[in-house]
Structure 1
Amino acid sequence: MAASGIKPGVPVILRELEPSSPFFKHGQSLRVTGRLQSYQAETGIAEMSDGNVILKIDTRHLSDLIFSAGSLYQFIGELVIGFNTQDVLLQARVGRMVDGLDLNLYQQSLHLSRKLESYISNTSRSKKNLG
């Protein structure tokens, strides 16, 4: 079976998308969640936010998704960073409405999941060094 060129979207919190973040790379495949602030049908550009952080989402490749300002959405796609690091958007390939999701609980579970992955990785490295 041939390997696919599509990478899984790494779950990130919008506040983590700053130039110093390891997730802030052109072409990085991400999964972002936030509240829809606006949607322009003519351009297919949506703006989502989490707190005071806003991210533009290019939704032109999505179909059958109804946009409703104020609702929670989750998108998976690739990060596109322009010459100016302020020009950032996510080229979405998958999107869904996730109203009903407790965003604070989701973010806590993401933090705990990363902590567990780090622990497992460190434990695995320690065992290799002992063996």
Structure 2
Amino acid sequence: MLEHGEVVFIDEIKKEDVGVGEKSVRLCGRLDDHNFEDCRATLSDPQTCSSVILDTSLVEPFDTHLGSIFQVIGELEYSETDCTVVMRTRVIRSVDGIDFILYKNVITAQRKYISSRSDT
């Protein structure tokens, strides 16, 4: 069974934390670019302007609306070709209308709660 993906913010992704296909993550961000011929897209955090490259070869074709908010699930990998972290996307869905600030606040509160429960 495939992993559901740990919720991670785009600005939390670091090259050092990435193991090839080891970690399934869930990201939410704005679709800034999509090249269906190369199966590449760029997802960015509207607040921090950090971004991640998506390998969309497993989900093509998908309904693209540049500037829309998407949630993606997949595995993070380091690409020697791009010299950057690339997410091999296996699930993508539009979540337009989401309150991005509220979404981040809820995830932060959830993490804090889970952390406090594991400390006891």
> Which protein shows a greater Rg?
1
Q: 1: CA distance between counterparts of 2:32 and 2:72?
A: 14
Q: How does 1:1-131 map to 2 (within 5 A)?
A: 4=1, 6-19=2-15, 24-27=18-21, 28-50=23-45, 51-63=48-60, 65-83=62-80, 86-123=83-120
Q: 1: CA distance between counterparts of 2:25 and 2:89?
A: 9
Displacement, 1:63? 4.6
Secondary structure in 2 aligned to 1:33? strand
Displacement, 1:18? 1.8
TM-score by length of 1: 0.81
Residues 119, 84 of structure 1: alpha-carbon distance in 2 compared, 3 angstrom cutoff:
farther
1:21-76 Cα distance to aligned partner (Å, 9 max, x none): x5x43321000010000100101111011132110111111156201110000100
Identity %: 32
Matched pairs, number: 117
TM-score by length of 2: 0.87
Letter in 2 for 1:14: I
Q: 1: CA distance between counterparts of 2:9 and 2:31?
A: 15
Q: Which runs of 5+ in 1 are unaligned?
A: 124-131
CA RMSD for the aligned pairs? Answer: 1.9
The structure whose RCO (Cα within 8 Å, separation 6+) is larger is 2
Kept after mapping to 1: 8 A contact 2:15/2:85: no
Q: 2: CA distance between counterparts of 1:10 and 1:65?
A: 23
